Chain A
Amino acid sequence: MKLISKLIFTVALLITAMPAVAQEEAMSLDETVNAIFAKVTGPFVNLIFAPLPGTSFPWIVLWLVVAASIFTIYFAFVQLRFFGHAISLVKGDYSDPNDAGEVSHFQALATALSGTVGLGNIAGVAVAVGIGGPGATFWMILAGLLGMASKFTECTLGVKYRNEYQDGSVSGGPMYYMSKGFEERGLPGGKVLAILFSVFCILGALGGGNMFQANQAHAQIAGITGDYPGWITGLVFAAVVFAVIIGGIKSIANVTEKIVPFMGILYVGAALIIILVNYDKIGWAFGQIFMGAFTGLGVAGGFVGALIQGFKRAAFSNEAGVGSAAIAHSAVRTKEPITEGFVSLLEPLIDTVVICTMTALVITISGQLLIDESTGLYMLDGSSIATVDGNSGVSLTSAAFGSAISWFPYVLAVAVVMFAFSTMISWSYYGLKAWTYLFGEGEKSELTFKIIFCIFIVIGAAASLGPVIDFSDAAIFAMAVVNITALYFLMSIVKQELKSYSARLASGEIKKFNH
């Protein structure tokens, strides 16, 4: 609760301090926002990304990888064993026609994906490859495959312990399985974890689900129109998001939800075309990915640097273990909570293993990353790999696509804006659910959060990439710290569900419906 008060205070401080600081130091508004923001979030970021003693390896990355590996082993490679069944569930093979009209498995998956597929796949991968080299892609894919088990665990629990209200609406997510699941098992501390998770979820919604999106959307638009102050993009975005989440103008959200999947298909299609046109470089690109994964190929920090970047950006992109998907999947009314777990394990596969890999391959193949031909190693510009025009983040991806399809940066700009908007809408809901868990449901409480959410859009667009990306990562990983702790205590419940479901599926008790 204190953190929330501090957060509100910080926002108020930022707004009131802006003009005075700007006058005194003759800084631009963007620079002022950036300076204050970096100072305020610095300690939190440093804590989350603190290295393991005596190494440069952030403890949080190890935390995520170990958890995903434990879940993979504990559930005996559920992501492989039930992959086909997950596809059948999404196709609706096991859906009772009498339940038509309820949220389908496909819809829950698509909604959760619209919150994850987006800038993480475009800008995040560029950051990973730009710092960690193509080798980061290997670790990203591995993290995606392992992360499928984390997603399975959290989404099963999300549906099992959600709240169903008398009016038929539902609220679910880690905060509910923490409080109800721990109580059911007679464990103490569930409520404390739920409160902590909710606080971090609000920060995550404001960071990765909001500021990072606004920031990179601005970078993309400014890259095409020419540079202009970020707060202008921020204000426009804030106004549109305000219209949807406060004004209730559903038509904007509806249009976005329909355009975003097409944008996703267009993006993957363009990536595939570029890869196929450069088919002679595919072998070389995979060679760079595998060699870079274990040697680093000259990147800062060597192969550990590639590994850290790969895991970090995979977690940021697919959010496995973070707990956000559990909120999205809770809306499905199913008699078998575990079915939603099976469906959710497809998310890291689609998001990371397929889409992120496409982006990484295009960047690698495009030759945007500069290589010293005499050594075969990547050339460095500070701690990042030097690029053709000094691009990083989304502009690196844009340049990579643009080098093969000259007009694609324009399409990408539209896609980035749509992805950013769609992710913001999804995360405004996740943040809101955490907020209402802390402060109760009610119009005033909800309006407060929504206004804070819109203010952070302006701050995110105005701040520079470095502090925003650090805070976004830190906030989202902080959610994973609490969520994974809870998952360790509750994973035996998921195992019981898995055992029971597997037995009934094998015996034919659970069967397909004729559609």
Chain B
Amino acid sequence: MTTTLVIGLDGQGSGDRALAFAKDLAIRIGDCELLVVYVIEWSPFSFQTAEENALRHKRREAEITTAHERVVDPAVETLTSAGLTARGKVRHGDVADTLNRICEEEKGQQIIVCRASEGGFAKRIFGSSTANLVMSATVPVTVIA
């Protein structure tokens, strides 16, 4: 049975370490598929102007394209060029919830993420996405320092 590992990237340099760890783990496992996921932080309960609403679909498409081009596709390319099976996904939503939901949908066995990139005030108030994921995930989570 193929093992599916979900790698959550945040577009920062530390993502490379998560990618390297996942690559190493996949080689050890053998029959393994890697799913590279980038979640664009977004809430359906935020407030927007009418003009922002009118342009939302256009911007959403642009955000997905940019995330694929800059983060997900190069990561998938790195993995496939190493002979591994990999594909990418970009979604909008709450980072922790969305990563976990995708892992459940894809019947993944583990989520691999790098350490929190948020800091300061926001982290103190809301906690980091990584901490939230660790606390709420329904599958094992590996956090790379």
Contacts and interface: CB of A to CB of B under 8 A. Distances in A.
Interface string A447-481: 00000000000000000000000000000000000
Interface stretch (A23-31, A100-108, A229-237, A360-368): A100-108
Identify which of B57, B61, B64, B101 gathers the most chain A CB atoms within 10 Å of its CB: B57
A92 to B, nearest CB: 5
Contacts of B51: 429
A333 B57 contact: yes
A168 B58 contact: yes
Interface residues of A, number: 39
Contacts of A156: none
B103 to A, nearest CB: 13
Interface string B37-64: 0001010111111111111111011011
Given A97-B93, A167-B58, A169-B57, A104 B45 contact: yes
B115 interface: no
A333 B101 CA distance: 23
B57 A168 contact: yes
Nearest to A332: B53
Interface in A315-340: 327-328, 330-333
| Secondary structure call for the B interface | helix
A72 interface: no
Interface string B98-119: 1001000000000000000000
A301 interface: no
A426 B54 contact: no
A388 interface: no
A430 B50 contact: yes
Contacts, number: 90
B87 interface: no
B91 interface: yes
Nearest to B43: A104
Contacts of B55: 168-169
Nearest to A114: B47
Interface string B103-141: 000000000000000000000000000000000000000
A258 interface: yes
A223 interface: no
Nearest to B39: A100
Contact of B98 (A100, A261, A330): A100
Interface string A426-460: 10011000000000000000000000000000000
A425 B52 CA distance: 12
Contacts of B64: 101
Given A100-B93, A253-B49, A331 B42 contact: no
B92 A100 contact: yes
Nearest to A259: B47
Interface string B54-82: 11111011011000000000000000000
Contact of B50 (A97, A102, A111, A258): A111
Nearest to B56: A103
A104 B92 CA distance: 12
B92 A429 contact: no
A257 B49 contact: yes
Nearest to A256: B49
B49 A426 contact: yes
A107 B58 contact: no
Given A111-B53, A333-B57, A97 B101 contact: yes
A170 B92 CA distance: 20
B22 to A, nearest CB: 24
Nearest to A427: B50
A111 B45 contact: no
Nearest 4 CB-CB pairings of A with B: A101-B92, A168-B58, A104-B44, A331-B53
Interface of A: 92, 95, 97-98, 100-108, 110-111, 114-115, 167-171, 250, 253-254, 257-258, 260-261, 327-328, 330-333, 425-426, 429-430
Given A101-B92, A171-B54, A426-B49, 9 more contacts: A92-B44, A101-B60, A102-B56, A104-B45, A106-B44, A107-B45, A110-B47, A111-B49, A111-B53
Interface of B: 40, 42, 44-58, 60-61, 63-64, 91-93, 98, 101
